[in-house]
Structure 1
Amino acid sequence: MLIVSRVQSSMAVRSSVLLYWFHVFCTGVFADVWKVTVEPDMQALVSSCVVLPCSFKYPVKEQPSDRIRAIWHMKDNWDDIIFHKDSTKVKDSFRGRTNLIGSLGALNCSLEIDEVKNHDNGPYCFRVELETSKTDKYSFVENCVSIKMIEQASKPELQAEQSVQEGEPAVFTCSVRHTCPSHQPTLTWNHTGKVIMSYKDIGHGNWETQSVLTFSPKKEDDHSAVACTVKHYGNVKGEMTVTHRIFVKEQATLSHILIPVISGLGSALLFGLLCFFIAKKRYRSRPGQFTPQGGQNVITRKSQEDTHSTVLFRCEGTEANTQQLLMYSSATNQDKTPPLITL
């Protein structure tokens, strides 16, 4: 009995080795006809969902979805099935949490895992079975997916100008990346305005949700904070809100232009009047000296610089019995022709 047991054990080992090398051989031979495309390294938020992008092709004629069987299983144990259309074959910890969201007829094998647990790391492999024959089936164990768990979400990104103009449209862009396109996160603002939402695939199993807010700032918005809040699908923890403080430049009006001009003119006028009265007061405080000189009446005033200013005037009679007062001033260094003033 012992000998028989050893022989059976040896045969089992040899069979496993042969199956392994047969699989390696088949992988090389049929690599050009049995293919799958997946993202080998993914990230997922705990308590949310994650979609594993997947596409495949097979060597026979294309079949409709109802003649293709899709299976997702653990790499280390093919019997640990995480998705099967017969839910009774699915592992208990995944039953009701996995869903094939792709169309098998369109060669899309994308899988959604809902309510992600912190131990849903994988790796997970895709297996396709065609109902055309018993041999048309393949497990892509060389192309599996591993998931890195993220316990807390990071806050979204907010882009905007810090200084905005009053009355002119200001644009604020808030975006967040995620791995669950079947349940897009929502973005909300604490300020009213026009909001445009967009969703796009940015590759490698990542998607982006973006919200653009446009509004015209008022004077009351100066030094206020514009906030964007993200709500992920599921009971996700982490920073959900990002804020951006803005400074509003006041819009130029007619009063903004007139007030400085009037203020400047008023200051100049006041300064001019002040100078005029000071000069007039100083002039009156120095009385002139009246002396007759050769038939002329002369007034002489001495300045602070010890120079003399002389005013000469002469009365002359005319045929029209009018008088002319001839006045001129002379200084030490300069003589001017006296103007004639008729009285």
Structure 2
Amino acid sequence: MDTERKMLIFTLLLTAVCSPVFSGEWKATVVKDLDALVTSCVVVPCSFTHGGGLLPNSRLRGLWHRQDKFDQFIYHEDQTRVLDNFKERTQLLGRLGENNCTLEITDMKDHDNGPFCFRVEVVRKETNEPTKDKFSFVEDCVQFKMLHDAPKPVLTPPKTAIEGKPYTIICSVTHTCPSHLPKLTWNRGTEEDITEIHKQHHGGNWEATSTLTFVAEAKDDYTELTCTAEFYGGRKESSTTVTLYVKRSENYNHIIIPAAVGIGTAVIFGLLCVFMVKKYKKRIAELQSQVRAGPDSEDEKRRNRFL
């Protein structure tokens, strides 16, 4: 009987201690692989559920650590516990009370490849000390592929511009730091000619897009259009250039003008011919009239002049 009583008490104590830990599901959703541009920044999307139920932000503590070293923190609210290499370079962008554990790392180093894991702790309100309700998501960690060269922008223009008509060209570049967007610039155009869009793709990847619109002119033919992407940190940039070809607008001046000149010349020449023909016909008529009158008539006319 004593043995049964001891077993019952032990079971009750074990339940009382462990129930906070196993009272709910511990689960994290973390992007496992991300590209990270050296000297720039990266944002790791992260969300989680914990066994403590709905708790305010002040009752939760989020930590990020090396996968194989639980005491080597790359993020901790107490900066003195953060590894020297990561001090002042990491912060949580999400609110833990909303189950958002998104992490930002700036000034990425070549050796910041990870893997890094998220840990959540429920703390006591009075002492801010962690309870037994905590969990490290070592199966859901992020690892980085370090990029030393900035991704090149992609230009998607129509094949040919048409003189006098609007021409649109799009520049886009992928990145993994939506908290500090890359800056896209053109070698021509004004702010009124440019529009920008930022959208999220799957797996923590984002795309920045800049659209340039202008009216193509004949002088733009065979000129170059360049889009440059400058990434956060100011030490990495890349650019892409295309040659613009302009198709002249359809007109018939090269036909109409010569035709008009030819027709005008023909009309003038025709009028001159008519005038000359009439003049010569009149002269011929006068000569014929004189011939019909004969010499006597001519002598009579001369005599009449002197009378």
TM-score by length of 2: 0.73
Q: Letter of the aligned partner of 1:230 in structure 2?
A: A
User: Structure with the greater relative contact order (CA < 8 A, sep ≥ 6): 1 or 2?
Assistant: 2
Matching of residue 89 in structure 1 with residue 81 in structure 2: yes
Whole-angstrom distance in 2 between the partners of 1:131 and 1:219: 70
Q: Deviations over 1:53-85 (max 9, x none)?
A: 100011332111111100000011111111010
Q: Letter of the aligned partner of 2:60 in structure 1?
A: I
Q: Letter of the aligned partner of 1:114 in structure 2?
A: T
Matching of residue 191 in structure 1 with residue 211 in structure 2: no
Q: CA deviation at 1:235?
A: 4.0
Matching of residue 134 in structure 1 with residue 131 in structure 2: yes
Q: Deviations over 1:125-171 (max 9, x none)?
A: 00000125712110001111111100111310011023110111111
Alignment counterpart, residue 252 of structure 1, candidates 229, 234, 250: 250
Q: Deviations over 1:261-292 (max 9, x none)?
A: 558989xx9xxxxxxxxxxxxxxxxxxxxxxx
1:152–1:236 Cα contact (<8 Å) kept: no
Residue 180 of structure 1 aligns with which residue? 177
Residue 293 of structure 1 aligns with which residue? none
Q: CA deviation at 1:259?
A: 3.8
1:153–1:237 Cα contact (<8 Å) kept: yes
Q: Larger helix proportion, structure 1 or 2?
A: 2
Q: CA deviation at 1:43?
A: 1.0
Q: CA deviation at 1:32?
A: 7.1
1:46–1:236 Cα contact (<8 Å) kept: no
Residue 34 of structure 2 aligns with which residue? 42
Whole-angstrom distance in 1 between the partners of 2:51 and 2:236: 45
1:46–1:118 Cα contact (<8 Å) kept: yes
Q: Deviations over 1:184-208 (max 9, x none)?
A: 0010111115111011111101111
Q: CA deviation at 1:31?
A: 11
Q: CA deviation at 1:30?
A: 5.6
Instruction: State the Cα RMSD in Å.
Output: 2.5
Whole-angstrom distance in 1 between the partners of 2:87 and 2:52: 31
CA gap 1:31/1:230 in 2 versus in 1, 3 angstroms: farther
CA gap 1:34/1:264 in 2 versus in 1, 3 angstroms: farther
Whole-angstrom distance in 2 between the partners of 1:130 and 1:32: 13
Whole-angstrom distance in 1 between the partners of 2:260 and 2:70: 88
2:23–2:52 Cα contact (<8 Å) kept: no
Percent sequence identity over aligned pairs: 46
Whole-angstrom distance in 2 between the partners of 1:231 and 1:185: 5
Matching of residue 148 in structure 1 with residue 160 in structure 2: no
- Following TM superposition, the consecutive aligned residue runs of length 4 or more in structure 1 with deviations greater than 2 angstroms are 29-32, 235-238, 259-266
**How do residues 15-164 of structure 1 correspond to structure 2 at under 5 angstroms?**
33-131=25-123, 134-164=131-161
1:153–1:236 Cα contact (<8 Å) kept: no
CA gap 1:52/1:259 in 2 versus in 1, 3 angstroms: same
Greater Rg over alpha carbons, structure:
1
Instruction: Name the SS of the counterpart of 1:210 in structure 2.
Output: strand
Structure 2 gap segments, 5+ residues each: 1-17, 125-129, 267-307
Whole-angstrom distance in 2 between the partners of 1:199 and 1:30: 41
Q: CA deviation at 1:253?
A: 3.5
Q: Letter of the aligned partner of 1:196 in structure 2?
A: T
Count of residues paired in the alignment: 241
Structure 1 gap segments, 5+ residues each: 1-25, 270-343
Q: Letter of the aligned partner of 1:255 in structure 2?
A: N
CA gap 1:31/1:201 in 2 versus in 1, 3 angstroms: farther
Once structures 1 and 2 are overlaid, which stretch shifts more, 242-251 or 76-85? Answer: 242-251
TM-score by length of 1: 0.66
Whole-angstrom distance in 1 between the partners of 2:115 and 2:140: 10
Whole-angstrom distance in 1 between the partners of 2:258 and 2:90: 71
